[in-house]
Chain A
Amino acid sequence: MIPLLYKIFRIKLPTNVLEEKALDIQANAESYVQKQIGYLRIHELERSATTRIREKCHNDYIYEEIRKKLLGTNELLQYGQTTYILYSDFLKETLVASSLLQPFSNAVEIMMYITFIHIANDVQLRLFIENSSKPVSYLMDNIENKSLKVILQDYRRMRNLAAHTYQLISIEAAQSFILRTYENIQRMELIINPSEDM
């Protein structure tokens, strides 16, 4: 991320100020992501999903293909948040390309794989392993959970916006999209680890 920040700021600022600004942006992003999802222990969820797949999948190639889809939620969010802060707080842009939101959409997708692997029964998981090239959202449709249905419809629309259209959107709309990303990830964690009744 820092090289990108250097590239953008080089025109305006001397190197030492540049470095300070770049580090500030990165620190702000890390702290924000931590505040939103730090309590979820995403890395542990990624690890336990990987372990369950390893137990059920005996084909090393397929296992490796699935494993790659289960890692990087936190990193993607930090990357996306850094980019967002760069454009909103430092460059003071009022419009951004919707593709800037792609890391957030990808993070939700990874979390969907993680959630599916945690909550799927053995039959559903075997079907997933046998059809590992199919999008997880396809298999999620068959799981009866009202929260998941809401997340799925959100995810499909967000993915279309971030990945399949070029559209300039307001920085406020981008922020709203980002907040919904965190909300959906928080929802999925609640599906994996339901809290005791209130």
Chain B
Amino acid sequence: MLPRKPALFSSRNALLAGFGGLLILLVLSGVDSVQVLSSMRKSNEAIRREFLERAARLERIRTAVYLSGTYARDYLLEPEPERAEQHRAALNETRREIEAELAAYEGATHGEDRAALEALQKELADYWRSLDPIFAWNFRERREQGYRFFREQVFPRRMEMLTIADRIAAVNARELTAGDRKLSQMFANMRGRLLIVFAVTLLLGIMQAAVSIRQTLRLERAAARHLEEVTRARTELKELSARLVETQESERKAISRELHDAVGQSLSAVLFELRNLAAALPPDPALKSHLETTRRLVESSVSMVRNMALLLRPSMLDDLGLLPALEWQARDVSRRTGMLVNVAAGELPDDLPEEHKTCIFRVVQEALNNIAKHAEARTVRISLNRERDHLLLAVQDDGKGFRVGEQKGLGLIGINERVENLHGRVRVESEPGRGALLEIRLPLAETPAAARTL
């Protein structure tokens, strides 16, 4: 378990890095898109605004050119010198206005229409120059030559200027289109970047998903393996405990039998020999007393051996069966504690399996021990019955009782373990002051082992 920990940590780091990277990518591409979009909107506005501004200036130049023609004509036709001067002043005003607008236009342009602008400026200079002679004329000269001068000099130049202004307007329009193209270029760039970001994100996402899925599956498998191991360990533990109980029981049985048959019988044989010795020896009081002491010692040894054997495993359980063993146990406890212990049994199967006999006997033994130690009972009733395919054991006492669940002594744990080994169930029912009932339900095996009874 321990060496697996670093792997878990590194997988956490990988997951963090993966998902973090994906998130950062998404955020960056979002920020980038927003920025590009806003700059596109701004430059789109600027392009439109500049276009309109230039178009307006051009329009004003065009109007001023027209007006200058009108002022020049009015100057030529005006008979009053004072008024004529006014027209000339207006003409000069218009000329300044045009020059100012042209300068402003030149500042606002991006240079594509510079050639047309220079042509316009040259044409304008020619225009103004062509007008110069009329200011030297007197009234008569103005009236005689005026119209012809206009027709031959001013009109064609004005027309030429207007044509140039149209060309500039066309260039202006082209500039607008160029701006639009720039915008679509920006848009295309952004789309390309977005596509790349999307592709990278998708790729990373797929990789991340693959890694995550693999990791999750690995963890799942590890968890399943772990669960299996734990389950197996628990089963093994249970089997081990069952085997332990079994081994303990068979050892007790062997030792009990050995004590009884070998040691007990030998001591009995010694007793017979002592009796024969007593008969063969001369009647000496000292000898007789020694023999008597020895006999007593051997006799008490015999009863000690007998009690030890019973304590380990009563021979009735194997020689006579479960019920005689339970009855002996009841008598024995009754003798030692003064409680009245009653055993009532219904019809029991003759071929009760060995482990069932042992289990019931040990459970009763443990229960009686517990009652004798804690319950302060006067009477204990033990009943054992067969209920279809179950053995039902009940041990009921009239002692001081206890709160179920609060008391979980070693005795009850041992009982539980023995009963669970045979797939049985334990039920305890008690209340303070109302005695206690221990109920065991033990399923009968399908193929019972042959029981050895007398």
> Do A and B truly interact?
no
Q: Which residues on A are within 8 Å of B, measured CB to CB?
A: none
Q: Which residues on B are within 8 Å of A, measured CB to CB?
A: none
